[in-house]
Amino acid sequence: MLAYEELKGASGKEVWFRPPRYDARVLFPQSPPKVRLRSAVHKLQDISLGGVAVLCSQSADDIPDIGDVLPLTIQQMGFSIFESEARVLRREDTVFGSKLAFNFVDSFIEFEKLLSRNTQAHISARAENPAHDQLVSREYRLFCADVLGTLRSYKRVIEDNVSLAQMANCNFDFNGCYDSCEAKLLQQWRPIWRTGNDLIRSIRADRDVLQATKQFSELVLTPEFSAGEIWNRSYTKPMGYPGDFEIMNQVYSWQPRGSNAYSMLLHRVGLEVAECIKTRMEVVRKHIVTAMGTKIAERPTRIMSLGSGPAREIELALAGARTFDGRVEFTLIDQETAALRYAFEKTYPSIMRMQGRARLQCVNTSFTDILRGFNALDDMPPQDLIYSVGLLDYLTDRRAAMLVHRLYNALAPGGLLIIGNMNETPLSNLWPMECIVDWSLYYRDQDEMLNWAAPLRPAQAWTETEPTERVRLLFIRKP
């Protein structure tokens, strides 16, 4: 037991107590409520005794500014579970939408009442709003039942054999079980995936039907898939945004993860969906190697990555450059400090091995600042290769075209710009990402991407797909 004089308080900014803030997906794991502001409904990110944080979509109109006071309603299934006047304390515009932080003016959250009303709203929605449920087609409901039936047939077999092993006082070989099930499940998964895409593509234009279908999917399918680590991280978004660098690392490592054979199988299914992250990286790596092999008199070859994440392609390119005798300078730009730290630490041994012929610099800035014309790009010398393969999927067409224009202007004469975007294809990532893990992207075809290049009058512009064909890559060569 400590004496009073041994008890320590906080230090620094922590001496100012703040009420705890709860992530919406943790507090409401099945179905986070929405927030209504004026005529629009937005995503609830987190909530505390005295305020909330909200994420407005890129397409939202009439987004309030700092200092605005307006009615705010927290809704579950269309029913109000909390209302208050609220003041905008902070606003941050990001590629994922505008983040707004509110402080309640005339009320506060009583969490017991809020959770109780949330439960009542779910019950009322089922009883009083059958029309919402009816928006989900019978075909999609049957499809979800088939998905669960397929997955749980594997779960049942695994659990039965674990029980038999326990009865015989034997250790159960989870790895052997996983190996025997993997190929068969993947064979069944691809037709399921394609059917899901077909069903969602047919309703994508109807916002109400799509939203109802997504809610149904998160209620029925997401809890099952979340036993797989990559699905769970994609859905919960612990870093506050989808597609963080740890998810990319899971794909790059391609290792079984999970506490048992069933969770390992679900993770493997998720890797199958995300395989295009790895294959698009390999395409970029080859172009980095080509650029490094092109010697430029009097200066190093300059290569820039926007939205770099863990930058595994640079790590691999440097590790394989055993006979490299030129000079190269890499610039990584990302809004996540942890991603840049990881990339720097992994590439540093190869940088040191090259004894001054390679240099790496990291720029920690928001993508929104880049879109707004932040001078990080303007202050850098012209680049020979610029690539951004995981960012434009989140941007509207207008903002994507603006970013392509900015990056193109940062190229040196003869330089190459590579832009990646999720491809519009029958086996795209549409259904798994949109409905199971609430990960919304823009899917584009060749013509849509070539339209970004047309006003630039480049020497060349063309597109290719990586081996899975789920990512389309736009190449723009400057004269």
Using the 3D structure, point to which of 109, 129, 149 is the last residue of a domain: 129
pLDDT for 25 equals 82
Rounded to whole angstroms, how far apart are CA atoms 221 and 208?
Answer: 19
**Domain coverage including residue 138:** 134-273
Q: Residue 4 domain-assigned?
A: no
Query: Which of left, alpha, beta for 475 (phi over 0: left; psi -120 to 50: alpha)?
Result: beta
43 phi/psi in degrees, rounded to 5:
-80, 135
pLDDT for 239 equals 84
Contact 139, 195 (CB under 8 A): no
Q: Using the 8-state DSSP alphabet, how is residue 28 labeled?
A: S
Q: How many other C-beta atoms can be found within 10 angstroms of the C-beta atom of residue 171?
A: 8
- The CATH number linked to 75 is 2.40.10.220
Band (pLDDT 50/70/90 cuts) for residue 166 is confident
Same domain, 31 and 96: yes
Same domain, 226 and 118: no
Which of 19-28, 35-44, 57-66, 179-188 is modeled with the greatest confidence? Answer: 179-188
Same domain, 307 and 196: no
User: Among candidates 294, 351, 359, which has minimal Cα distance to 331?
Assistant: 359
Same domain, 233 and 220: yes
Kindly state the average pLDDT of the residues 92-111. 87
Q: Residue 10 domain-assigned?
A: no
Band (pLDDT 50/70/90 cuts) for residue 41 is confident
Rounded to whole angstroms, how far apart are CA atoms 232 and 243?
Answer: 12
Band (pLDDT 50/70/90 cuts) for residue 170 is confident
Q: Residue 2 domain-assigned?
A: no
Flag whether pLDDT at 369 surpasses 80: no
- The CATH number linked to 293 is 3.40.50.150
Tokens representing residue 198 in the block: 């077909």
Using the 3D structure, point to which of 273, 292, 309 is the last residue of a domain: 273
pLDDT for 96 equals 73
Using the 3D structure, point to which of 108, 129, 150 is the last residue of a domain: 129
How do residues 46-84 score in pLDDT, each as one tens digit?
Answer: 999 999 999 887 666 678 999 999 999 999 988 999 999
Contact 216, 363 (CB under 8 A): no
- Count of structural domains within the chain: 3
Q: Residue 387 domain-assigned?
A: yes
Q: Give the N- to C-terminal CA distance of the chain in Å, as an integer.
A: 74
Tokens representing residue 279 in the block: 């294959």
Kindly state the average pLDDT of the residues 170-199. 93
Q: Residue 211 domain-assigned?
A: yes
Flag whether pLDDT at 461 surpasses 80: yes
Rounded to whole angstroms, how far apart are CA atoms 253 and 341?
Answer: 18
Same domain, 232 and 347: no
Flag whether pLDDT at 381 surpasses 60: yes
User: Among candidates 285, 283, 291, which has minimal Cα distance to 324?
Assistant: 291
Kindly state the average pLDDT of the residues 430-452. 96
Same domain, 286 and 239: no
Distances (CA, A) of 88 to 84, 106, 121: 13, 14, 27
Same domain, 255 and 350: no
pLDDT for 8 equals 64
Distances (CA, A) of 463 to 275, 422, 469, 473: 19, 12, 11, 5
How do residues 323-357 score in pLDDT, each as one tens digit?
Answer: 677 899 999 999 899 999 999 999 999 899 888 88
Same domain, 120 and 159: no
Q: Residue 12 domain-assigned?
A: no
Same domain, 206 and 248: yes
What single letter denotes the amino acid at residue 195?
A: T
pLDDT for 130 equals 56
Kindly state the average pLDDT of the residues 401-405. 94
> Which stretches within 168-221 are classed as H helix?
174-201, 207-220
How do residues 107-149 score in pLDDT, each as one tens digit?
Answer: 999 999 999 999 998 888 766 655 557 899 999 999 999 999 9
Chain centre to alpha carbon of residue 54: 17
Band (pLDDT 50/70/90 cuts) for residue 374 is low
What single letter denotes the amino acid at residue 91?
A: R
Same domain, 145 and 232: yes
Rounded to whole angstroms, how far apart are CA atoms 250 and 231?
Answer: 11
Same domain, 156 and 250: yes
Kindly state the average pLDDT of the residues 172-178. 85
| 271 three-state secondary structure | helix
What rounded mean pLDDT belongs to the chain?
Answer: 90
**In the chain, helix, strand, coil percent, each to 5?**
45, 20, 30
Q: Residue 338 domain-assigned?
A: yes
Higher confidence at residue 141 or residue 170? 141
Q: Using the 8-state DSSP alphabet, how is residue 419 labeled?
A: E
Same domain, 171 and 123: no
Q: Residue 359 domain-assigned?
A: yes
